[in-house]
């Protein structure tokens, strides 16, 4: 899809200056200055998906006296769409088909807050149409979709950021993310390293909250919902209310339960600490409720992801099976341990980092749009951290140890697992 030439901030400055010279008067906010933001400095957006996260984190109010920021909202549920239009207030158009949004040439960024089974399709289309993209986690529903999405972004030279911010700050307090990367990369803890992620480290996987329901009777589709379009690339299945909107996370066709909901939040910074942004584990095993239901996500106890160099990530749900052992550290190596409150064993390990240089600053989405640098959570980084999530869910679904090739991005001699790497989409959708 090709876009028409858009009115850039640079072109706006030239045109507004010409208008001022011709007519001697322009709206006050156009001129900028204290208390006023000129349109040339506003990064405009369209929000696709105006349910819970779309409204909470992406649809903004367009107040009087300031240039509007949210110029378009899009949803297949007319009630969600009406709520979004009421929130924006002015200067915004409503759409039920995301493809019509991508025909616009006056919008800078596309914000994607749909269920994950739509992320790759909409993101790739937006990139091809010339937009920069901010989207909700997880990056994609499958590993194959993530690889295609990543490659498309790099081919078209656009900016992408997944809305997971722990890499920029920390689970427990802003600014400590770089400290944990330094202690992991300095050798102070030794190697290999083990990182544990679960309730023992203050992190809730929400697996009971986002479990799916089985044997639900079909229900009448509400008039306000275009259910066929909501399903999109997913298999056609009977409607019931728990299948859609916020509780969609409990069904494999759209997401992967609490693990997919929270996984990229929790695991993206771990990849950063371990310096694994261009790598993936080679051995993955899981303990959970097996066999898993083919449609509804069920419970699991733990997942172990091991890299070729021995570094290991252990996920523990704390909501099924054996209770998590108490007192386990967050990060552990043969020469030291770091606990969730930054207590170390032996004490004072962080004092050894004074001479270790800080990692390079991470570029935010807004800065990247203006400078065309890669963001701290760019498409390659996002794909690898999302791959961790997808490897974990595949191990849970299959109930056995899996062996993965990080370069080929496929499982080794395991076609059943590879069918979950690259799942077909319902016609006519494809990536």
How do the domains of the chain map onto residue ranges? 9-162, 177-421
Question: CA 116 to CA 135: how far, in whole Å?
Answer: 10
Question: CA 191 to CA 193: how far, in whole Å?
Answer: 5
DSSP reduced 3-state for 331: strand
State the helix-helix crossing angle for 177-186 and 257-274, rounded to 10 degrees: 60
Among 103, 106, 104, 123, which residue's Cα sits nearest to residue 49?
123
Give me the pLDDT at residue 19, please: 41
Give me the pLDDT at residue 171, please: 58
User: Virtual CA dihedral for 418, 419, 422, 424, nearest 10 degrees?
Assistant: 170
> Quick check: pTM over 0.75?
yes
Give me the pLDDT at residue 26, please: 41
Give me the pLDDT at residue 2, please: 42
Give me the pLDDT at residue 15, please: 46
Sheet arrangement for strand 93-95: 93-95, 70-74, 45-48, 109-112, 132-135, 160-162
User: CA angle, 80 as apex, 76 and 83 as ends, to 5°?
Assistant: 145
User: CA angle, 165 as apex, 154 and 141 as ends, to 5°?
Assistant: 55
Q: CA 67: distance to chain centroid?
A: 28
CB 278: neighbour CB atoms within 10 A? 10
Pick the CATH number of 9-162 from 3.40.50.720, 3.30.300.20, 3.20.20.370, 2.60.120.10: 3.40.50.720
Q: Which residues of 47-81 are buried (b: 16+ CB within 10 A; e: fewer)?
A: bbbbbebbbeebbbebeeebbbbbbbbbbbbeebb
Superfamily of domain 177-421: Dihydrodipicolinate Reductase; domain 2 (3.30.360.10)
- Mean pLDDT in each 10-residue stretch from start to end of the chain (431 residues)? 43 42 40 53 95 95 94 98 97 98 97 98 98 97 98 98 83 68 96 96 94 96 98 98 97 98 95 96 96 96 98 96 86 96 94 92 94 95 98 97 98 98 97 95
Residues in the chain: 431
Question: CA 415 to CA 361: how far, in whole Å?
Answer: 41
Distance in angstroms between the alpha carbons of the first and the last residue of the chain: 14
Radius of gyration of the chain (CA): 23
């Amino acid at each position: 899809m090709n876009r028409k030439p858009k009115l850039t901030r640079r072109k706006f400055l030239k045109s507004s200056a010409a208008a001022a010279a011709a007519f001697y008067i322009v709206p006050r906010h156009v001129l900028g200055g204290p208390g006023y933001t000129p349109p040339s400095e506003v990064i405009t957006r369209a929000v696709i998906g105006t349910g819970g996260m779309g409204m909470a984190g992406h649809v903004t109010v367009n107040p009087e006296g300031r240039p509007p920021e949210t110029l378009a909202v899009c949803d297949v549920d007319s009630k969600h769409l009406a709520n979004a239009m009421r929130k924006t207030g002015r200067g915004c158009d409503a759409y039920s088909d995301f493809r019509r949004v991508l025909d616009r040439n006056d919008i800078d960024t596309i914000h994607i807050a749909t269920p994950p089974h739509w992320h790759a399709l909409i993101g790739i289309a937006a990139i091809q149409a010339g937009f920069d993209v901010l989207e909700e986690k997880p990056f994609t529903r499958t590993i194959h979709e993530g690889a295609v999405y990543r490659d498309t972004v790099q081919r078209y030279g656009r900016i992408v950021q997944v809305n997971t911010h722990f890499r920029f700050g920390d689970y427990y307090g802003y600014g400590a993310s770089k400290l944990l990367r330094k202690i992991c990369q300095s050798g102070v803890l030794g190697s290999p390293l083990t990182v544990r992620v679960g309730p023992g480290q203050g992190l809730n996987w929400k697996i009971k909250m986002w479990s799916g329901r089985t044997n639900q009777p079909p229900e009448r589709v509400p008039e306000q919902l275009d259910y066929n379009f909501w399903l999109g690339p997913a298999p056609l299945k009977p409607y019931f209310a728990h299948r859609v909107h916020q509780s969609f996370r409990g069904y494999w066709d759209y997401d992967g339960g609490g693990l997919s909901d929270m996984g990229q939040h929790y695991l993206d910074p771990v990849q950063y600490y371990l310096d694994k942004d261009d790598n993936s584990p080679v051995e993955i095993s899981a303990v959970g409720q097996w066999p898993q239901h083919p449609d509804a996500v069920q419970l699991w106890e733990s997942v172990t992801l091991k890299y070729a160099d021995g570094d290991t990530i252990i996920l523990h749900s704390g909501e099924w099976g054996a209770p998590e052992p108490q007192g386990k550290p967050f990060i552990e190596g043969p020469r030291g341990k770091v606990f969730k409150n930054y207590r170390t064993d032996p004490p004072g390990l962080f004092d050894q980092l004074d001479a270790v240089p800080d990692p390079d600053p991470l570029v935010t989405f807004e800065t990247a749009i203006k400078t065309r640098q890669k963001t701290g959570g760019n498409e390659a980084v996002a794909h690898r951290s999302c791959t961790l999530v997808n490897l974990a869910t595949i191990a849970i679904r299959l109930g056995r140890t899996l062996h993965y090739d990080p370069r080929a991005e496929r499982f080794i001699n395991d076609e059943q697992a590879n069918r979950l790497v690259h799942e077909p989409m319902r016609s006519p959708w494809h990536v």
